[in-house]
Amino acid sequence: MKIRANYVSNSSSASFLLDLATKKYFTLTAKTQSNIIFYIPYKEYSRFRGEAELENIEYLVGRENDSNTSEWLTLSRSSSNIFVSLYFQLSSQSEINYNLLGKSMWIIQVRINLSPNYYIKFRSKKNIFITTPFKADEDFYPYFKIINADAGGQIEASGNIGTLFDMDDGSGNSNNSYYTRCFYKLFKDCKGLISAPELPAITAEDSCCESMFEGCESLINVPDLSLTSLAPSCCFRMFAGCKSLINAPKLPKNVLADSCYKEMFSGCILLENTPELPATTLTSNCYESMFASCTSLSGISGISGIMLNSAVLSPSCCFKMFTECTSLKNAPNLPINVLVDSCYKEMFSYCTLLENRPELPATNLALNCYEGMFMGCSSLTNGGNLPAQILIQNCYKNMFKGCTSLSSLSVEFNTWAINGRFSGTESDYRETAVYWLNDIEIAGEFRCPEDLPVTKRNANSKKLEYN
Amino acid sequence: MQIPRNWNIIRSTDDVLTFTALEANSYVTFMANDKSQIKGYFKSNLQYRTKNTQWQRVDIIGQKINLSKVNDFIKFKTEINPSNDPLSFTNEQFEDWRIHFELGGKIKASRKHSIFI
């Protein structure tokens, strides 16, 4: 059953869906003795007004598999339980007045000590919620910290995080949406976090989940994203450094925004497969470094969108998308014929097991389109054919640099100096014509048109050889 | 432009069959018997380009390519991927399978290395 909860503040109102069966609480459950601090900033930058409003939050304590629970209680300084102790304090002995750009800021610490198998549920009453400072500033945002994680503290988060947080940024425009930076770094570096709460919103705003679970090295279970619209940087580094994550969550199907998934799974060293990414209209930097350093990644069939002729690229859309994916052996076909600036720049750089490069049939190139695309791919042997006859500045810069096993390549252009682009400075020439097949020492074959001027690199001289 | 010092340079003319018009209004038609294996092979492996087009992998069998001006040309090549060996006709049982070119006008054919053997 779902109800629509509403609250009215001044002239604005906000609402969101609550599923009474499963989504009306936000729950922290301790798997081991866990000491947690929930930091909440307030004043000036926030519509949250501190201690007084904190009392609008209710909590309930219980033990797993035990039907006996406490009553819903109001959060207060004296909240406590024999197995769960709760208290909050200001950042130090007294209120610290953070002076930031002439604004004042205070931080409440809600300290939560959970015995093993005990849980605490939170909900808001009167539909008043904790509000992230919506005048975004990196220094002030609510976040959790498991202070004994290195000593074994482990918790599971479950339920609807939205029941604790205000879904409105004060503009009154957000229904079922996460507003700008609302969960920014919420669980960042919670090394003892095993499970993530549900994220049921359908509309994202800028950076709403940026770095939300970054550095959660024990995180195994993550929720699917129910979003139907994305916003710039909405999932930027959301799961970066989640070293235990094996399976990626389901992502929205067909919508993208600039940098929406940038570095989203960067450093997830156990991630084995990409999620489904069927979108065919790509946005700027949308997949930038999305799977960077995912050293177990070998299954990439889910990225079907960019494998279609109908895909539309944007600048830097796949920049470093799979860089340092050292288990990746086969690359997907990239059939797009019209490229855009830096679209595939360093896309597979340092994929040291990559044996087969994708089909690259494009004959209409763009600035830096293939720059460093296979740089450091030390298992790549066949460079295939590059069918373009007209080159664009830096299109092949460092493309095969350090491909120490490369032994064949075919091209169909007959000059670097198209329209004077490479007839300028020595630097222009060096960056393009010289540094594209460098650091390759084994024997190989280079196939090219009859009239293309070609020289072999002189190992004993750094002198440029012009042709 | 530089390539690794231990690499050999192979000019594409070594692997391309070129027909060049020596007089206006010449033409070339690439023909193959209606054997699906042959046609299928060339459809997927044979590429061609003319003076004003880039390499393309399109079924050209039976299409008349007009070389309307002197020095217009059509070039044929097969995939360079070693796994796609050019088709050979060495087995007698395939004697009825053949390809040929129909030429019109005055045309020069040039190749340094067969694309078909």
Other C-beta atoms lying within 10 Å of the C-beta of residue B102: 11
Per-position pLDDT tens, chain A of length 467:
223 333 333 322 233 333 333 447 889 999 999 989 888 776 555 555 566 667 777 888 889 988 877 788 887 766 655 455 555 444 433 333 444 444 555 677 788 888 899 998 888 765 555 655 545 555 667 889 998 988 899 999 998 887 776 554 444 444 466 777 888 899 999 999 999 998 877 888 889 899 999 999 999 989 999 888 899 999 999 999 999 999 999 998 878 999 999 999 999 999 999 999 999 999 999 999 999 999 999 999 899 999 888 899 999 999 999 999 999 999 988 988 889 999 999 999 999 999 989 889 898 899 899 999 999 999 999 999 898 888 888 889 899 999 999 999 999 887 765 444 444 555 655 666 668 888 898 999 998 887 788 888 765 544 444 43
Q: Where are the domains of chain A?
A: 1-6+19-177, 246-467
Tell whether B8 is within 8 A of chain A (Cβ).
Answer: yes
Distance CA B25, CA B69 (A): 6
Locate all alpha helices (DSSP H) within A331-461, ordered by sequence.
426-429
Other C-beta atoms lying within 10 Å of the C-beta of residue A436: 24
- Whole-angstrom CA distances from B63 to A42, A114, A131, A311, A386 are 76, 79, 70, 31, 27
| Among the partner residues B2, B13, B80, nearest to A465 by beta-carbon distance | B2
With CB atoms and an 8 Å threshold, state whether B9 touches A448: yes
CB-based contact A270:A246 (threshold 8 Å): yes
With CB atoms and an 8 Å threshold, state whether A437 touches B80: no
Which backbone phi and psi does B43 adopt, to 5 degrees?
-65, -35
- Whole-angstrom CA distances from B64 to A394, B30, B55, B79, B110 are 39, 8, 17, 22, 19
Pairing of strands B64-67, B26-32: antiparallel
Other C-beta atoms lying within 10 Å of the C-beta of residue B19: 23
Nearest to A104 by CA among A142, A143, A133, A77: A133
Tell whether A363 is within 8 A of chain B (Cβ).
Answer: yes
With CB atoms and an 8 Å threshold, state whether B3 touches A456: yes
The token duo for A186 is: 């919420």
SS3 content of chain A, % helix, strand, coil (to 5): 5, 25, 70
Task: Please report, to the nearest 10 degrees, the dihedral formed by the alpha carbons of residues A170, A174, A178, A179 taken in order.
Answer: -40
Tell whether A428 is within 8 A of chain B (Cβ).
Answer: no
Helix (H/G/I), strand (E/B), else coil: B45 = helix
| Among the partner residues B4, B11, B81, nearest to A448 by beta-carbon distance | B11
Element (H, E) at B9: strand B7-11
With CB atoms and an 8 Å threshold, state whether A445 touches B7: yes
Supply the DSSP symbol for A432.
I
Compute CA A20 distance to the chain's CA centroid, rounded to the nearest angstrom.
30
Distance CA A106, CA A411 (A): 63
Distance CA A223, CA A158 (A): 9
Tell whether B5 is within 8 A of chain A (Cβ).
Answer: yes
CB-based contact A230:A254 (threshold 8 Å): no
Q: What residue in A sits closest to B55 (Cα-Cα)?
A: A387
- Give me the half-sphere count of Cα atoms (radius 13 Å) on the Cβ side of residue A465: 15
Tell whether B83 is within 8 A of chain A (Cβ).
Answer: no
Task: From chain B, pick out residues whose CB is under 8 angstroms from the CB of A459.
Answer: 5
Tell whether B12 is within 8 A of chain A (Cβ).
Answer: yes
Nearest to A72 by CA among A56, A87, A88, A83: A56
CB-based contact A385:A410 (threshold 8 Å): yes
